[in-house]
Amino acid sequence: MDPHSAAFSLPPLLSTPLPDLATLQAAAHVVALPLNTRFRGVTHREAMLFHGPSGWSEFAPFLEYQPAEAAQWLAAAINHGWGAQPAIYRDAVPVNASVPAVDPADVRAVLQRFPGCTTVKLKVAERGQTLRDDVARVRAVHADFARRDLPPPLLRLDANGGWDVHTALAAARELAPYHLDYLEQPCATVAELAELRAQLQAAGLAVRVAADESIRKASDPLAVARANAADLLVVKAAPLGGAARALQLVAAAGLPAVVSSALDTSVGIAAGVQLAAALPPHLFGGACGLGTAALLQADVTREPLLPVAGQLPVVAAQPDAALLREYAVDPARRRWWFDRLAACYEVLAAA
């Protein structure tokens, strides 16, 4: 499909009939899992899990997301738990290590949770930190690989739109010698991404630009491709409404894609791995950001989807009943999640 065609639109949110709300409520479990490292300002990851006829699925939009946006996550959970799954091209997916915006002294402990990963994604442009802090974290990653007599890792920097073009270019100049692969959503707007990409090329810096928020939060997800503002896409199954919609978006853009997680439980990670496995070879962008179950202190399954030799298998995660009980939220929090489910359900029913 031509990304320059103004006629492109994503398919409907649901590829399977919408179950009754009572059916979803009866199939739901709500958990709060402790994190190893504070992430997005929280120390626990809350999620609602469903056991549908096609297997387990996850509804876990970040807490600040309002129903219109969070409904896409519910659609993904319904499509995965009640619908058919896409055909796959590979039975395992390489993943990158994920390093939050931690102190450089804590980098080594984080990397130990990602055995065999030779690509490292680092959070940068954290509020309250500076480029100097980001550089120090990158150097700590390199030092840890050197200490283990490993080749330098391939680095990806995720700024979540936190830099302007000038700062992003300065970061690329300073960190290019550290085997820098790409900058993920370095700037907030498509116009800024296009300007940065042009400046990187003019400066002779072989650093790619990846689009994340400019895809999944955009009313026109192909604007990035039309503006030649990115070299590749970062896609997540849940925010895009599930694997089928994500695959169609990637195909329409014609750019390689890296599949990432949203700090999911192993149930959500399994859906992301399936999406990554379903990307055609010419659109598969390499190591994916799906090793993030390593950032959880606990999970809903006795066999968490953790990287082994830098890879994750394509499997269906099976939650453990005792773990679902152990990490269940309190009654007040459960009501909050059920109210949220009902609000998002209304959005899907209206669509």
Could you give the percent of the chain with pLDDT greater than 90? 91
- The pLDDT, as a whole number, for residue 5 is 53
Distance between CA 141 and CA 153 in Å, rounded?
8
Name residue 31's beta-bridge partners. Answer: 47, 328
pTM (2 d.p.): 0.94
User: What is the assigned CATH class of domain 92-313?
Assistant: alpha beta
Query: What's phi and psi for 140, nearest 5 deg?
Result: -65, -35
Which positions ≥6 away from 34 have C-beta within 8 Å?
43, 44, 296, 297, 298
Mean pLDDT of the residues in the chain: 95
311, two tokens: 């890879």
- The pLDDT, as a whole number, for residue 42 is 84
Residue 194 confidence class, pLDDT cut points 50, 70, 90: very high
For range 126-151, the mean pLDDT: 96
Residue 62 confidence class, pLDDT cut points 50, 70, 90: very high
**According to the annotation, is 174 in a ligand binding site?**
no
For range 171-179, the mean pLDDT: 94
**According to the annotation, is 91 in a ligand binding site?**
no
CA atoms within 13 A on the CB side of 259: 31
Which positions ≥6 away from 27 have C-beta within 8 Å?
50, 51, 52, 81
- The pLDDT, as a whole number, for residue 252 is 94
Residue 308 confidence class, pLDDT cut points 50, 70, 90: very high
Q: What residues are annotated to the active site? A: 123, 236
pLDDT for 125 beyond 70: yes
pLDDT for 2 beyond 80: no
Residue 119 confidence class, pLDDT cut points 50, 70, 90: very high
Q: Do domains 21-83+321-350 and 92-313 have the same CATH topology?
A: no
For range 280-296, the mean pLDDT: 96
pLDDT for 14 beyond 70: yes
Could you give the percent of the chain with pLDDT greater than 70? 98
Q: Are strands 311-313 and 92-94 parallel, antiparallel or unpaired?
A: antiparallel
**Over the Cα atoms of the chain, what is R_g?**
20
Residue 4 confidence class, pLDDT cut points 50, 70, 90: low
Over the stretch 234-267, which tens digit does the pLDDT of each residue have?
999 999 999 999 999 999 999 999 999 989 999 9
Residue 3 confidence class, pLDDT cut points 50, 70, 90: low
Q: Is the alpha carbon torsion for 321, 323, 326, 329 positive or negative?
A: negative
Over the stretch 24-38, which tens digit does the pLDDT of each residue have?
999 999 999 999 888
**According to the annotation, is 158 in a ligand binding site?**
yes
Q: Quickly name the fold that domain 21-83+321-350 has.
A: Enolase-like; domain 1 (3.30.390)
Residue 216 confidence class, pLDDT cut points 50, 70, 90: confident
The domain segmentation of the chain, as residue ranges, is 21-83+321-350, 92-313
Over the stretch 101-113, which tens digit does the pLDDT of each residue have?
999 999 999 999 9
